[in-house]
Amino acid sequence: MDNIMGKPVLWHFAISHFNEKVRWALDYKQIEHKKQLRFLGYPILNYLKTKQLSTPILFHNKTHILNSSDIICYLEKTYPQKPLYPTDRAQREKALELVEYFDTELGPSSRAFLIGSLFNTSKEATIGAFGMCAPKYQKKMVSALFPLFKVYYHYRHQFNANDIGEAEANVQRAIDRFEMELGDKDFLVGDQFSVADLTAAAFFYPMVQPEQYPYPFDPVAQKAIEKIFEPFESRRLIKWVRGIYQMYRVS
Ligand SMILES: N[C@@H](CCC(=O)N[C@@H](CS)C(=O)NCC(=O)O)C(=O)O
């Protein structure tokens, strides 16, 4: 049920980096809320409630908000404690510019690179990754209908096996931009943790699979993901994401 006692309710996927942004914002700002994981039946439930299919979806005060960055903006306005937006105007604009860059250039490409590569690796690793927190019978259903699931996933997220190389190059470019923006600082903007750091760290989480991530990683998927991101293992980014998760990913 939505809006229990005025608390926001988040519908989300455990594996998703767009969803991780919103979970992190809710947890970091210590907002009392309820999280509801969505599994195989998500298209129907999401469509019935919101006339579209994507998560994250935040329900609050008889309305809903879509898109991770719009949800975070709503949370900033509604729950001003522990702000994620810098108070300085120029810094706020810079943080939001970086968020926009990561949302458009990194989020979809890192998904296409990771998930496309997982599909190419093995069925077991792919189901292990998607099955995070899912009931066993649903994993069995995906296993039985795997070819259909693969076609549906590629169609919904508009990429195919030929796009993996381009997606990897986009991820590489986003890492270059990230490291250029970070320079030798601890934070992307100013001298405090902000929405820009949260967004970058959430989008890059699969490269690190940090222990503070709120859900357990499947061991087969974990190994496969480590292999997929091997080309990036010596980048400064990896250490930074690990450190940001350790310091700021409170549950
Ligand atoms: N622009 C959206 C992207 C959200 C998105 O791509 N969600 C994916 C999970 S990573 C999803 O719900 N996919 C299932 C679908 O669209 O059918 C945001 O920032 O929230």
Read off the pLDDT of residues 63-76 as tens digits, 9 standing for 90 and up.
999 999 999 999 99
| CB of 156 sitting under 6 A from ligand 1 | yes
pLDDT in tens, 134-178: 999 999 999 999 999 999 999 999 988 889 999 999 999 999 999
| CB of 68 sitting under 6 A from ligand 1 | yes
For position 170, what pLDDT does the model report? 97
Q: What is the DSSP string of the chain?
A: --SGGG--EEEE-SS-HHHHHHHHHHHHTT---EEEE--TTHHHHHHHHHSS--S-EEEETTEEEESHHHHHHHHHHH--SS-SS-SSHHHHHHHHHHHHHIIIIIHHHHHHHHHHHHHHH-HHHHHHHHTTT--HHHHHHHHHTHHHHHHHHHHHTT--GGGHHHHHHHHHHHHHHHHHHHTTSSSSSTTS--HHHHHHHHHTHHHH--TTSSSPPPHHHHHHHHHHTGGGTTSHHHHHHHHHHHHH---
Mutate which of 17, 18, 67, 118 for ligand 1 pocket (most atoms within 8 A of beta carbon) = 18
Mutate which of 23, 38, 52, 55 for ligand 1 pocket (most atoms within 8 A of beta carbon) = 55
| CB of 117 sitting under 6 A from ligand 1 | no
For position 232, what pLDDT does the model report? 95
| CB of 52 sitting under 6 A from ligand 1 | no
For position 233, what pLDDT does the model report? 95
How confident is the prediction for the chain on average, in pLDDT?
Answer: 96
For position 192, what pLDDT does the model report? 98
Q: Whose C-alpha lies nearest to ligand 1, atom 13? A: 54
Domains in the chain with CATH codes: 4-78 (3.40.30.10), 89-248 (1.20.1050.10)
Res. 5: pLDDT tops 70: no
pLDDT in tens, 182-207: 999 999 999 999 999 999 999 999 99
Res. 3: pLDDT tops 70: no
**How far apart are the C-alpha atoms of 77 and 83, rounded to whole Å?**
9
For position 148, what pLDDT does the model report? 97
Q: Tell me, in angstroms, the distance from the centre of ligand 1 to residue 136's CA.
A: 23
Res. 2: pLDDT tops 60: no
| CB of 206 sitting under 6 A from ligand 1 | no
| CB of 110 sitting under 6 A from ligand 1 | no
